[in-house]
Structures are given as structure tokens and as C-alpha cells.
Amino acid sequence: MSSAGRDIRQQCLGLVFLGAALLLNFHFFTLGWDNTLLGYHQFRQVQTAIASYHYLRDGLSVHYITPLLGPPWEVPLEFPLYQLSAALCARGTALDLDAAARLTSWLYFLGVLPACYLLLERFRLTAAQRLLFPALLLLSPLYLFYSRAVLIESTALFTACWFLLCFERFLRRPGPGWLAGAMVFGSLAGMIKGTTFAVFLIVALFFLCGALRAPGQMLRRQVLLRAALLVALPFLAMIGWVFYSARIRHLNPDAQFLDGIFGYWSFGDLAQRLSWSFWSKTFRVWADEIAGEGGLLLLAFYFIMGRGQYRRTVLVCLAAFLSGQLIFTNLYWVHDYYFYANSLFLVAALGFSLIGLLNQLELPEWKQWLVVTAVMGLQISTFDRTFLDAQKKNVPIPPVTELVRTISEPDDIIVVFGQDWDAALPYYSGRKALMFLTGREADPESMRRSIARLDPHKVAAVIMAGFHWRDGDLINRTMSALNLGSRPFLYDMTGTGVWVPVERQAALRDRFNPSVFPDFTISPVEHVPNQGIVLLARQIRRRSEFDCFSPRPIRAFATHDFTYITVSFQRMLVANSTTELTFALPVKATQLTAIYGLSDDAYTNGHTSDGIELTVTLRPAQGQEQRLYYRYLNPRANEADRGPQKLAVALPPGATGELIVRLLPGPAGDASYDWSYIGQGTIR
């Protein structure tokens, strides 16, 4: 076969492998498509997504809203190209924002591939060999996983790769298009993520050194001027954005801690760079998330056995790969997704090593492609071992999120304590938030100042998570301006208390449906009106306290709020005297049964209840109310009255109308310590 025919066949095979890699990448991209953003690296993903959410809701702004630290809500970090793109994708495709943001991230990653392919032209590779590199990149575990994450990483990589291509082309073949491209993409890369841009500036320096080796002093001077021109504007744009965004953040006193993230903390120290733990951990990232043990062994084998065709190129790629970890050591130590910026060069080193070995061994064509298949198969195996389970796992949205949506309005504010500044609750509830960072409870004066910046009429709830959930003293010392009462309005059994301003509580009690939120208990009324509390059928249907009746009452009155207790493993309605329950009689009903009694604590431990009276009366549709049952229950004086009592009342044949059950004070009219209960009521 002619050389031209062989090249065409190899190019076709390269396209087949690239297509197969793209299909596999797409398959893994769609796994967990409908999952929430919670779970693996949820902190940063949801924090990124919330800016896109407010683009959709509030419109566009360069200093975008990150509503986590109170007003003013603008706390810009990176230039928001990705957040804006995700919002436009959601608006244009009608996808929900989570899916649209994932799609946006993936599309930016795909945009990296043609830039890489074009950059490889300068290394005099065949078309088939150049196709191998994007195929390896598509199947690298780290890029399989993080290219679908709601993060800025793929956008930063996209702009940095296209900057590098324009930079390299302008050095060799100056033209206005390459100049404009380098300035635009470089400026965006620097403003989006300076740590990514820094790695690519180092690679640009390698390209510059190659260009400077051309003979002629004048030519070298021209190359240096071109390089300076290409880098100057992006560098100024990056520095300008850093100062501009910092000035906006400084308007919010609760955002001052962010300055430390961009300072010394990001770089780490020499001891960290020289520590065994750092290099052992990062090696596991290389092996588990980027190239796999097989890829690293192939690289080592190439340096041992290879004759050096691409050794210098591989060394440059490895130097570029290591540069990010050596400069921003602490960031790479804490966040494995920072490797997204530089892992491209480790994959490139793997690609050059693979091509060098295949050329050296002079294997038959089919064996060469078999080796390529094996390398890609090992990448998939590594992904299956490391990221696949995390990608498929769907962490549900906590019930408190929907609860917040129910008890608040879209323009309301929530205060969150015990979740640091994790944006999951504000994002999925669609509410702006003031989030107290961990440790702020030690500085109540600082907390008071933060609360003072809020409009108290806009605060719908304070969510307290962790061991402070019912700390009324902390609430009163720091949030007295919000008038939250002395206890949480709603709470669950896992350590979450929802405090609500007192002026909002009455309306919420009227419309709150406990059956929708079975994990949460509503607190009794703190200040019962003098006339007592009356509930109507609509309210009773929504309150879980009345689950112990069939049918439920149509009206209920008490001089206290309604709640429940457990007696002998059965739920009972607390019915302290005076309580009145009115039931609509079912057709052909013949009997009322129930369990009732007086709490043991009502007549022991120094408590002196003189008992209660229980009456059952029938109020027919027409005519006078008639008593069907009466009992005076006095367990302090009568031992037989102690503990749960059974109620069984026969109803008159053909009775219609309403049945009224009353728990009243004893004959002396003294309601002190009359802590009674009734439940398991049935009318049939």
C-alpha cells in the first residue's frame, strides 16, 4: 500500500478512536444527569451555581450576586463568564439550571480539544497521531468527572488553551487575528482563574524560548516585543480584575475573610513542598485521577527504553504539569479539582511517550492500535475505580430546604448558622442569605453588627444547625432585633431549629401543613391569647397532632396550644383543661371510643391537680344539646383513675349532628396542673 493510502487509513482509525472516546465521554457525562449538586465538592459547585441563578432572576451584572454574606450581596471572586454562560444556556434550552450548568461546563471542555489539536501541528506529528491526544484527554478520569461539574475549571482551561494557541501562532506568523485572540482569551483566562493562567504563561515561556533560538539579534528582539505585547494586556486585565473585585467585596464587612484565601494561604510554604505527605497525596491524584498507574508506568518505561525522539518535549510537559503544584501548593493540596488546569500537560506527556514508544518498537499497525486501546481501557478502569460511584450517587436535597421555601417569599432573607458559607440551602431554596461562618458564635458583637445590616421585615427565618439549634441565649444575645421568641418555631430530631419572627408565626401556623414535613415539629404557642385558641377544620387537617382521631375534629378549642405526647407507645393529643373537640357525626355511627387520662406528673412531685371532668354531648341538627357521658377523673384521690382510661360511648340510633368532647377542670373549677390527654379516638 502506498504511503498516502497508509496515512489515510491511519487518519480514519484515529478518527474512529477519537469518536469512540467522545461517545464514551458523553456516556459518562450523562450518568447522574438529574442528580443534585450536593455531595462531592458541593461547596464550590453550589456557590458557583447560585450566581447563575441570580443572573436568571435579577438580570446581568459584572459584579454578580453571591447572596451568602448579607448585603451588599455582590461578593465577586472570578470573572463570571461561566456563570453567565450557564444562565444563558438555561434560558435558551429551557433546562433546569443544574443540568444547563453541567452542559455548559462540558461544552467548554470540548472547546479545548480543537485548540490542543492545532497546537500539536508544531511538533510535526501526523494527523492520526494528533488525534490520539484529544482521545486520551476525553478519557482521563479527572476530565471525565470534573468536565461536567458546575465549576469554572473548564471555562478557565478553554480560554487558557486558546490563548496559548494564539500566542504560539503570533510568535511564528504575526497577524491581527492571532494578536486579538491572544489578548481576548488571555485577558479572560487571567480574570477567570489566575492560577490556571499562570500555568499557561509558563508554557508560553517555553514557546518563547523556542522562538528565541532562531538566529539574528533583530529577530530575537522582535520576538521578545511580540511576546511582551501578547502578555501585557492579559496580565493587566488579571491584576485589574483582582483589585476591582476586591474593592467590591470590601463593601461587605462579612466578606473580609476572603482576602486571606488570595494571599499567602494559596501558596503554602517550603516545608509543605518538601513534605512526604504532600507528594504522596499528589502522586495518588496523578495515579487515581489523571493518568492511572498504567499511564505513569508507560511514562517511566519511555524514559528508560526510549531513544529520545520526544524526551525533551515530554520533560517540558512534565515541567508545565508540576508548575501548578509547586507554585500554588496549598490549593492543590486542599482541592483536587485544581489539577484540572495542569493535568492536560501530564496527558500530553503520556501521549508523546506513547507515540515515541510505538515509533521505536516498529510494531505492526494493528498492534500499535491495540496498545492504544489498552491505554484507553486502563483510563476507563481507573475512572470506574475512583470517580464513577461518586458521579452516580444522588444526594437528596434536605427537607429543611423545601420548608424554607414554604415559610418564606422569594424576596425574603434567611439567616443560616452552623453551615459555614455552604450555599446549598440558599441556592435550592432560592433565597438570599446571611450565613455565619464557623466560629462566629464566639464573637456575639460581630454577629449583632451583621444582623443590624439586614432589614428585619425581610428576614423570614433563622436556621440554626448543629448543637446551637435551640440556644435561645445565643439568639437573644445576637439577634434580638429580629424578635424570634424564646424557642425555635420548628425543629427536627437531627439538630436543626428554624426560628421565625414572632409577627410571622400566627400566619404560618394557619397555613403550615405538618404532614408535608413529617420530620419537623411545630412548637406550641408561646403566648396564648386570653380567649384561648380555636382551630377550624382546614387548620386541623394540616396539623399532625390530630392524627390520633378518625375522623378528625371539625373544630377544636383549648386554653393552650395543641401538641402531642406519647403514652404507652401511642400518640395522644395534649388536652389540658379546658379543651373542647367537636366532631361531625358520620352516617350510621353507633359508637365513640378513645383513650384519655391525666398525666402522672399532674398529681405527684408536689403537683396538686384535683382532677378533671370529661363530658361527651350530642348536638343534633335541631334540638337541645344532650349529655351522653360524664366522668370525674381524680387520680390523686382514686387509684383506679390513674393511667390511661378507656372511653366507650354508645350513640343514639340514627343520631346526626355534632359530637362534642370536653375536658374540663374538676368540680372546684381549679385548672391547676390539669395536664390531661386524649387520643386513639374513633367514631364508627
Q: In the prediction, which pLDDT does 646 show?
A: 95
Other beta carbons within 10 angstroms of residue 554's beta carbon come to 16
Instruction: Tell me the sheet residues that pair with 660.
Output: 582, 617
343 falls in which pLDDT band (50, 70, 90)?
very high
Q: CA 654, 536, 576 angle in degrees (round to 5)?
A: 90
Judge residue 76's burial from the number of C-beta atoms within 10 Å of its C-beta, 0-12 exposed, 13-18 middle, 19 or more buried: buried
In percent, the amount of the chain with pLDDT more than 90 equals: 57
Helix runs in 388-429, H state only? 388-392, 399-407, 424-429
The grid coordinates listed for 519 are: 420530620
Residue type, 572: M
Contact by Cβ (8 Å): 451, 435: no
Q: In the prediction, which pLDDT does 324 show?
A: 92
Distance between CA atoms of residues 490 and 532, nearest Å: 21
Q: In the prediction, which pLDDT does 214 show?
A: 62
Q: How far apart are the first and last CA of the chain?
A: 93
**Digit-coded pLDDT (tens) for 292-303:** 888 888 888 887
Q: Which helix (H) or strand (E) holds 444?
A: helix 444-452
**Digit-coded pLDDT (tens) for 347-382:** 999 989 888 877 766 767 677 778 788 888 888 988
Q: Which residues of 649-677 are buried (b: 16+ CB within 10 A; e: fewer)?
A: eebeeebeebbbbbbbbbeeeebebbbbb
Q: Which residues of 330-348 are buried (b: 16+ CB within 10 A; e: fewer)?
A: bbbbeebbbbbbbbbbbbb
**Digit-coded pLDDT (tens) for 125-166:** 888 888 889 999 999 999 999 999 999 999 999 999 999 999
pLDDT at residue 217 tops 60: no
Least-confidence region, from 458-467, 527-536, 570-579: 527-536
pLDDT at residue 107 tops 90: yes
Distance between CA atoms of residues 662 and 156, nearest Å: 71
The grid coordinates listed for 564 are: 402531642
Give the residue from 346, 303, 299 showing the smallest Cα distance to 322: 346
Residue type, 463: I
Distance between CA atoms of residues 49 and 55, nearest Å: 10
**Digit-coded pLDDT (tens) for 234-255:** 999 999 999 999 999 999 999 8
Q: In the prediction, which pLDDT does 326 show?
A: 93
Higher pLDDT, 396 or 217: 396
116 falls in which pLDDT band (50, 70, 90)?
very high
Distance between CA atoms of residues 450 and 434, nearest Å: 8
**Digit-coded pLDDT (tens) for 301-319:** 887 776 667 888 888 999 9
Average pLDDT along the chain: 89
Asked if omega into 496 is within 30° of 0 (cis), the reply is: no
Phi, psi dihedral angles at 613 (to 5 degrees): -110, 135
Give the residue from 580, 554, 582, 576 showing the smallest Cα distance to 563: 576
DSSP 177-243: HHHHHHHHHHHHHHHH-HHHHHHHHHHHHHHHHHHHTSS-HHHHHHHHHHHHHHHHHHHHHHHHHHH
Taking residues 609-638, report their average pLDDT. Answer: 91
Q: Which residues of 455-475 are buried (b: 16+ CB within 10 A; e: fewer)?
A: eeeebbbbbbbeebbbbeeeb
5 falls in which pLDDT band (50, 70, 90)?
low
Least-confidence region, from 4-13, 454-463, 538-547, 633-642: 4-13
Q: Which helix (H) or strand (E) holds 579?
A: strand 579-584
**CATH numbers and ranges of domains, the chain:** 399-522 (no CATH), 533-683 (2.60.120.1060)
In percent, the amount of the chain with pLDDT more than 70 equals: 95
Distance between CA atoms of residues 255 and 372, nearest Å: 50
Residue listed under C-alpha cell 433546562: 95
Taking residues 197-223, report their average pLDDT. Answer: 80
pLDDT at residue 424 tops 80: yes
CA distances, 486 to each of 496, 526, 562 (Å)? 15, 8, 18
Q: In the prediction, which pLDDT does 93 show?
A: 93
Crossing angle of the two packed helices 127-139 and 97-119, in degrees rounded to 10: 150
Q: In the prediction, which pLDDT does 622 show?
A: 80
Q: What does R_g of the chain's alpha carbons equal in angstroms?
A: 35
Contact by Cβ (8 Å): 186, 168: no
